Amino acid sequence: MFGQEYNVRVFSLVEDTKRKAFVELLQNKPNPFDEQTLIPIFVNDISNIKTAELMVTSADGRIVKKIELQLIPGINELIYDYNWHNYECGIFYYSLFINGQKVDTKKMELVAY
């Protein structure tokens, strides 16, 4: 059975004890994917962001694609296409760089159906 995936944020009236990150890299969907996948980035505070870049690397560390981003407050979605890395299947990692510093890295898998 196929279903729809949703990202959910739970808010409460109690202040969070954890400091809220100014930007969050979320898991791509669908994962694994065969043609395209959606990479969401949630921006809580745009004032700290001067430059933003997404870097995709192969499992062996080879840089596959660099994408400059123009982020806005709220949810930002990037459609990643499999032809950007010559239709190569396997496991890849995507990292978000803000002002030249790595913020987070996630794993995605491209499969041939």
**Residue burial 3-20, b: 16+ Cβ < 10 Å; e: rest:** eeeeeeeeeeeeeeeeee
- Single-letter amino acid, residue 95: S
Q: Are 52 and 96 in contact (CB under 8 A)?
A: yes
Q: 92 exposed, middle or buried (CB, 10 Å; 0-12, 13-18, 19+)?
A: buried
Give pTM, 2 decimals: 0.80
What does the pLDDT look like over 4-20, one tens digit per residue?
Answer: 666 666 655 555 545 56
What does the pLDDT look like over 51-81, one tens digit per residue?
Answer: 999 999 999 999 999 999 999 999 999 999 8
